[in-house]
Amino acid sequence: MTRLVARAEPGNPGLFVNPDWQPGTPGAFAVVIGVSDYPYLRDGSGWHPGDETFGLGQLYVSAATATAFFEWFSDKYDFQGTPPARCWLLLSPTAEERAASAAAVGSAPATLENCELALQAWYAAMESNGAATADSRGYFFFSGHGLEVSLDAQILLPSDYLRGPGRAVNNAISTDNLLKGLASSPVPQHYLFADACRNDVASLRQYVVQGRPILNVRAAGAANPDVLTGILYAAASGTIAWQPFKLSDGLSLFGRALIDGLRGLAGVELQGCNAGRCEVRFNPLQTYLKNRVTQLLADFGSPEKARIRQGGSPPDVGVTVVVDSRSPFESLTGPAPVGQVLAARYDVTEVGLSWTPADGEVSAHRIFGSEHMSEIWMRHVHASDLRTGASALVVVREVHRSDNTQAYRVVLELPPAPDGHWLCLDDPGRGGRRFAVALPDDSMTAPLYELTMDFEFDDSGIRWISAVEARLALSNRSRLGELARMWSRYELANAADAAHELDTSGLLQMVFDKVKSPLAATVAATLLFRARRYDLLPVSWLANLTTWFMWNTDAAVLWAAHPDYRREVDPDRLPLLELKLPYLAEVLQMAWRLLSDLGPDDDPPWRLQAQVHRAMSVHRPGGLFAVYSGPAQDLGSDLVRPRRQR
């Protein structure tokens, strides 16, 4: 049953309304955007050879995917007396998509101007719905090209992106602006879905990429304390969001999995059931998407990982309600868990190793199974002590790889170092492109670290590294091993599940055992923070972790970001915290966001603006520890090392 019909209104491009919904009553408001046809990107109608497009070209099923989401919202969406009220549908389809779907009739082209008008009208409609705003909700869906800035700062590209003469790189929708603009919305619950690439484009780093400030952002004091906005991103950091090259092969993988999940298909955990009506909630939906998209990628034969990223502060209530007519057996079936699918990528395992480059090329080739990989680990992997700058010996303990040598998981060990190590990996297949990471030490034991590496081939057959992530190895003993498993749970399922296991398993004790393992305590605190379990994370504990371990900028950032933060420490007691970067990837991004949001009266216990902004220009989000990527000459240890040691 189609509940939304097109209505032509000035200033409301692509508006659809529900004739049965009455203004002043609760409702659901949505903006749905799908862009396949990009005239000013490669092979577009307005593109000219030689135009810089940052490697971006045409898409094939994004408009069809957005149409399918619109049809779900119009026909199937249901939640506790909030029917679809209004929806703005903006589509820029291919000719094939246009011919295949009549649902696009009434939509408007997804140009930047129309996107701005629709998003502003969406916000205004929610804001002007009287007392019913408190019981209403907002939805946003985008399918098309995207570029990553950081975890919660992606830009989504309208159909006329890079239109001349200016070809402005910031003429795009900013997810950061959406999250900040919605923070003051009178509507308390919002769900955002970004079915877009998170490409890492080296040539864009010369620009400050932020997107357009489409929604007004009010001061923190004007924010609605009841607003919770969750966003799901489709792609792993630095990778593409997969979709078929022809419409007959279906929708984008993320869009297909999302719509299946919102319909309550097998494999989705349903909660809050009452008389056969159950809620599809945000965190279980994220887990389902990770499982389903990973399985779809495997079916396509792709070596890519599906890391469906969560951003914002998601509501812990249903995204939609479905009628559960499944049998108990059907309720338990569905896509294989993402951990099993990813583990299946590693066909060959070598454990119990103590390999170093001194062992020679023959042993390297036997272990790594590839001359290219052997060359990297023999000649292009280097570690140095972050305090002294002295070279450090890298010992490889385990190697797990795919049979086609396109996916690797390498476990390594480094000697003790109070400030940790700077590990560099140079890719000879990319002419000097470097991946680098600062790896912290711990008080009681030398951690085992894990690097995951993915390889691709370009059109000329040159093999190159497409992704590197760094985390604690699962083979660590005691607290660090347990935390590695919890972090894996966070990456493969969701933050709430990881925090729940952290609490119920008794691992919360590590939060209080700071002296025994400050690294474990800091990782545990990050998991609890991402799950918004502030009840298990007292601000006083973060203040102690900050002041007891002066190297721990990560704890200082978590402390300053805590909702109960109050500046209580003399800045003279924190000399080192003004001089170095966080180790953890998500905390680095948190620092960047906090610094970007600083007002004249804000005073966090660290001052790292220049260093953080420089690091974010080369940062590759993903994994536990912050990985940086760029030309080798730009990635020395001075990027992260305290200034007193430079």
pLDDT band for 107, please (50, 70, 90 cuts): very high
- From the list 634, 574, 636, 564, the residue with the least C-alpha distance to 607 is 574
| Weakest mean pLDDT among 223-237, 239-253, 261-275, 566-580 | 566-580
Higher pLDDT, 87 or 496: 87
DSSP line for 614-627: HHHTTEE--SSB-E
pLDDT of 497-539, one tens digit each?
A: 777 777 655 545 655 555 567 888 888 889 888 888 888 888 8
pLDDT at 160: 97
pLDDT at 329: 40
pLDDT at 126: 96
Give the C-alpha separation, 145 to 204, whole Å. Answer: 15
518-530 and 585-596 are packed helices; what angle lies between their axes, rounded to 10 degrees? Answer: 60
pLDDT at 103: 57
pLDDT band for 223, please (50, 70, 90 cuts): confident
Mean pLDDT of the 565-593 span? 69
Q: How many residues does the chain have?
A: 646
Residue 482 has pLDDT above 80, yes or no: yes
* Amino acid type, 19: P
- From the list 458, 435, 448, the residue with the least C-alpha distance to 381 is 435
Please give the CATH architecture assigned to the domain spanning 5-249+304-314.
3-Layer(aba) Sandwich (3.40)
Higher pLDDT, 88 or 290: 88
553-561 and 539-548 are packed helices; what angle lies between their axes, rounded to 10 degrees? Answer: 160
Write the DSSP symbol of residue 380. Answer: S
Percentage of the chain with pLDDT > 90? 43
Distance set, CA 620 to CA 187, 238, 239, 285, 466 (Å): 33, 7, 10, 25, 11
Residue 572 has pLDDT above 60, yes or no: no
pLDDT at 527: 87
Beta carbons of 460 and 275 less than 8 angstroms apart: no
Residue 380 has pLDDT above 80, yes or no: yes
Which residues are within 8 A (CB) of 252 and not within 5 positions of it... i.e. 6 or more apart? 61, 62, 65, 143, 195, 234, 241, 242, 243, 244
Mean pLDDT of the 456-471 span? 78
Higher pLDDT, 493 or 580: 580
pLDDT of 113-137, one tens digit each?
A: 999 999 999 999 999 999 999 999 9
- 560: tokens are 């300053």
| In the chain, where the domains are located | 5-249+304-314, 348-472, 483-625+633-645
pLDDT band for 636, please (50, 70, 90 cuts): very high
pLDDT at 598: 64
pLDDT band for 575, please (50, 70, 90 cuts): very low
Higher pLDDT, 231 or 445: 231
pLDDT band for 646, please (50, 70, 90 cuts): very low
pLDDT band for 625, please (50, 70, 90 cuts): very high
Backbone angles phi, psi at 293, to 5 degrees: -65, -40
pLDDT at 531: 81
Beta carbons of 55 and 113 less than 8 angstroms apart: no
pLDDT at 79: 94
pLDDT band for 225, please (50, 70, 90 cuts): confident
pLDDT of 25-63, one tens digit each?
A: 999 999 999 999 999 999 999 999 989 898 889 999 999
Residue 332 has pLDDT above 50, yes or no: no
Backbone angles phi, psi at 429, to 5 degrees: -80, -10
The enclosing H or E element of 553 equals: helix 553-561
Residue 199 has pLDDT above 70, yes or no: no
Higher pLDDT, 603 or 211: 211
pLDDT band for 378, please (50, 70, 90 cuts): very high
pLDDT at 645: 42
- From the list 195, 181, 191, the residue with the least C-alpha distance to 228 is 191
Residue 341 has pLDDT above 50, yes or no: no
Residue 579 has pLDDT above 70, yes or no: no
pLDDT of 156-187, one tens digit each?
A: 999 999 998 889 999 999 998 999 999 999 99
pLDDT of 554-564, one tens digit each?
A: 988 898 888 88
Residue 248 has pLDDT above 50, yes or no: yes
pLDDT at 546: 80
Residue 381 has pLDDT above 80, yes or no: yes
